Amino acid sequence: METGLDVERIRKDFPVLSRELPGGRPLIYLDSGNSAQKPTQVVEVMREHMAMHYSNVGRAMHVLGAESTEAYENARDKIAAFIGAPDRDEVVFTKNASEALNLVAYAFGNPIGTDPRFRLGPGDEIVISEMEHHSNIVPWQMLAQRTGATLRWFSVTDEGRLDLSNLGELVTERTKIVSIVHQSNVLGTVNPVAPVLARVREVGALMMLDASQSVPHQRVDVAALGVDFLAFTGHKVVGPSGVGVLWARGELLEAMPPFMGGGEMIEAVWMDHSTYAPAPHKFEAGTPPIVEAIGLGAAVDYLSEIGMDAVVRHERELTAYALGALGEIPGLRVIGPTDLADRGGTVSFTLEGIHPHDVGQILDDNFGVAVRVGHHCARPLHLRFGIPATTRASFYLYNTPAEIDALVRGLHHVRKVFA
């Protein structure tokens, strides 16, 4: 299988992929949708900064403080370029995508906010979808409970696609915000942004994308997408955990009230009131994830050098190979699209009569194959398909067809064990 990606060279950048598990089994890591492995280049950048340059940012008038601040802000520049942000000050560092989503939800209905676009109350509506990660469900549920607004959602078709048949009835003049996943962490589905955004603009609402699964695996350009907000997390982008990103249009960030109060997010403080720093610092109270942000900058450097177009081609070929091979296993049902149209390299499935937890345990114990099992923080989606859990294999730039072959052998073995 030729994709233009030198996978064997890439694998050498990830020391963990050469690890032997107990019993001499090689590690076969098919769980990057959960968290990606980290290349040496990212680990070394973080180690070097922690060992030789670490200081708090924006506060210390000495060499280390200047070096740390420069590295931290350079990371912001790199991430802005990676996602096509028109202005680097539109990139806000958070601790993960969940915090980024909560930050935006907090802005709606906040009593200290004055912009009418963020006023929310009874009669107003929030729209999400049935395929969301809990991180893009629970904050909006909490917002609806806090404000009296109504939460509504797109359903999902039997093929695992977003059902847009009632788009006009679902997104109306009462809608204030639509927040949907760009690429499903369970189905692999890549959702169509353009028709939803066109309707959002028609009714004067705002739109947010959870891009946690799309930014690592496809070329994402926020300017081309045209949405208002986008969130993703570092640990899925071959970067560290503990850091995420909120991108938002600059004029919206200026209109939004702060998410947290504390040091660094202020302009001036008196005993009875405070004024706030401009974005992005208005949303980065306290000591930020300095080394983690720098590591995320190194991660997007790594992906940029390889080229996201090459990553997309490689994952597309792997996914086609996996769908074909899995389709030959008796009793296996793929939950989500079974073709390559508008889908990424995440494949969730069930094996008839066998609980996913048993599938995952046998794959790990006998074959060294690491997959994820459960509802993947998307329980409503599993309820939609009438299943309690799935087994999920998710592929990335360092995976090979041979690893998919090992997964298939393991699944045949699982069937024999439970025959």
**3-state percent breakdown (helix, strand, coil) of the chain, nearest 5:** 40, 20, 40
Chain CA centroid to CA 126, Å: 21
User: Alpha-carbon distance 173 to 168, whole Å?
Assistant: 10
Name every residue whose Cβ is closer than 8 Å to that of residue 112 and which is 6 or more positions away in sequence: 257
Q: Is the dihedral of CA 231, 245, 212, 356 positive or negative?
A: negative
142 SS3 class: helix
CA dist 208 and 196 (Å) reads 11
Paired sense of beta strands 206-210 and 266-269, if any: unpaired
Whether residue 172 lies in the annotated active site: no
Q: Are 233 and 97 in contact (CB under 8 A)?
A: yes
**Catalytic-role residue among 358, 377, 379, 401:** 377
Alpha-carbon distances, residue 329 vs 95, 325, 377 (angstroms)? 40, 7, 26
Q: What is the DSSP letter of 4?
A: S
What Cα–Cα distance (Å) separates residue 146 from each residue in 105, 108, 110, 111, 415? Answer: 11, 10, 10, 11, 48
- The torsion angle over the Cα atoms of residues 408, 412, 417 and 419, rounded to 10 degrees, is 140
Other Cβ atoms less than 10 A from the Cβ of 266: the count is: 16
Listed residue (294, 342, 366) closest to 157, CA to CA: 342
Residues forming the active site: 377
